[in-house]
Amino acid sequence: MASVPCILFEDEHLLVVNKPAGWNTHAPSATAGEGLYDWLRHREPRWAQLAVVHRLDKETSGVMVLSKSTLANRSLTEQFSRRTVRKRYLLLTDRRPPAATLVRRSELARAGARYTSRPPGTGGVPAETRFRIVAANASPWLIEAEPVTGRTHQIRVHAAEAGFPILGDVLYGGSRAPRLCLHAAQLELCHPATGHPRQWTVPPAFTADPPRALRAAFLDSAETTACRWIHGAADGWPGWYVDRLGSVLLSQSEAALTERQRERLVEWLAQERFDSVYHKRLSRRLRMTPAASLAPSLVFGNPAPHRVDLLENGVRFAVGLEEGYSVGLFLDQRDNRRRLLVNHVCAGLPAFEAGPAQAEVLNTFAYTCGFSVCAALAGARTTSVDLSRNYLEWGQDNFRRNGLAPATHTFLRGDAFDWLRRFQRQGRQFALVLLDPPTFSTSKIGGRFQVERDLGRLVAAALPAVQRGGRLFVSSNAARLSPADFLESVSRAVAAGGRTVARQHYVPQPPDFPVGRDEPAYLKTVWLCLE
């Protein structure tokens, strides 16, 4: 499988990473977007015991160490407590520092979202930071900061207090910039097992485009050529969404492209050598809008072919730009599809209890069968159900693109509720049932389906199809359905159906769909092991 580009070093005790700006160290809440630590810990079985021993602010980039063993956790905790770990940061400021070197000592206390600096002995936690000008007689100035203590926002508070707030740190009076220009450039510690000193150094990339740097930290471009390129306000572009689809960029917003957006698209077209750039006008009245008017328009480059090839975790898929609202692959489910490929949902929870070989998988609302392809590549036998014959044929083409024979799998056209009733009458059960319904749909047999109202009914209908010890995957992208209500609907239906949840794991949207105050999370997914 694909590597994780931000990893600098790994052995049986340590995992050292280069954290990008814009990614939390860990999730701020159980249903928020995963932090770097959470995303790594749930990605590979060998990382299941990862532990956080120090943190970087969300907007700070640079070197961070995670422990993989009990020995490492104990040793690193002791080293950080004794302050023998040496950390060197670099920052930019557009304010002239008062001296070539200086030391700030104070006590820090929280005041809302900020921290305030107080004289020693007046309350708060002691903090000391040493500063040194690296590049003088220039603006912005490059400053080295060495935190003797490790307090939250310490460098930011002390730099602002000394009269040179960090560029991009508007919270503490810094000038606006594309990112907070603070980088953990060097980390030096003693290896927990050998006792030998180890050092990792990564130069800052303050001029790099923050959204690009974030994606480059966790996506291996040799294995994955499809992702959310810009995710609205969370990436500094409110209302604008851009997807990379192989050799094509697809821009989406409710309005026509602004001049600034067009300029940025031209830059990306030149830098990344895309063949085409398209723009699609989003409509709030989706069901009342003709499908033809939902298709995107070519903005730059050459017309894209009928099917555009792309890679996702090494799996081949085809998407189309003439299909109306969606292109044939929901990029926000990439990590969940990977869980099927590697048979690993999270620590202690495989996707297939007895392994994927010959396991039976039911994929309802299958669309173009992305989940089915990944399950089949892992060795499972899949049954894909969808209302659309066109999408099922598209799904079979995705099978063939990956060397899979569609004839050895099952593709059923029709209403998901109807097929679930048929399977119940037949007594047919599956090792895994996947429920990823649309927010709204209508069928002649099942009638109107609205996920906020009918999710529990769907889960109840699926329960008889899940074998004892099997897995149920439930997902919704309905923005108006809160994570709490989503999980409550699922758990209430499971309990009413007489089943017990032995283990569950909630998964939010992936890191290329970052979550922010102005760009709330919308995707909610949960994996259940049912007894």
pLDDT per position as a tens digit, 427-471: 999 999 999 998 766 666 666 778 888 899 999 999 999 999 999
Asked if residues 455 and 486 have their Cβ atoms less than 8 Å apart, the reply is: yes
- Stretches where the chain sits below pLDDT 70 are 1-2, 284-293, 324, 440-447
Structure tokens at 526: 């949960």
Residue 283: its pLDDT value, please?
77
Structure tokens at 314: 């090494």
Residue type, 274: F
- The DSSP line for 353-406 is TT-STT-EEEEES-TTTHHHHHHHHHT-EEEEEES-HHHHHHHHHHHHHTT--G
Residue 201: its pLDDT value, please?
98
Asked if residues 299 and 278 have their Cβ atoms less than 8 Å apart, the reply is: yes
10 Å Cβ neighbour count for 523? 21
C-alpha to C-alpha distance for 440 and 17, rounded to whole angstroms: 41
β pairing state of 61-67 and 248-253 = unpaired
C-alpha to C-alpha distance for 314 and 331, rounded to whole angstroms: 14
C-alpha to C-alpha distance for 131 and 145, rounded to whole angstroms: 5
Helices (H), 382-531: 389-401, 416-426, 451-462, 483-496
Q: For the chain, list the domains and their CATH numbers.
A: 7-201 (3.30.2350.10), 220-311 (3.30.750.80), 330-530 (3.40.50.150)
Our answer to whether residue 436 is catalytic in this structure is no
Tell me the C-alpha to C-alpha distance, in Å, between residue 195 and each of 31, 50, 80, 81, 104.
39, 20, 15, 16, 31
C-alpha to C-alpha distance for 476 and 489, rounded to whole angstroms: 11
Residue 424: its pLDDT value, please?
97
Structure tokens at 357: 């070989």
| Strand, coil or helix: 273 | coil
The pTM of the full predicted model, rounded to 2 decimals, is 0.93
Asked if residues 4 and 50 have their Cβ atoms less than 8 Å apart, the reply is: no
| Strand, coil or helix: 503 | strand
Residue 454: its pLDDT value, please?
87
| Strand, coil or helix: 251 | strand
C-alpha to C-alpha distance for 506 and 474, rounded to whole angstroms: 10
C-alpha to C-alpha distance for 252 and 3, rounded to whole angstroms: 30
Nearest to 435 by CA among 495, 380, 378, 490: 490
Residue 292: its pLDDT value, please?
57
Query: Which residue among 57, 169, 209, 512 is the active-site one?
Result: 57
Helix (H) or strand (E) holding 310: strand 308-312
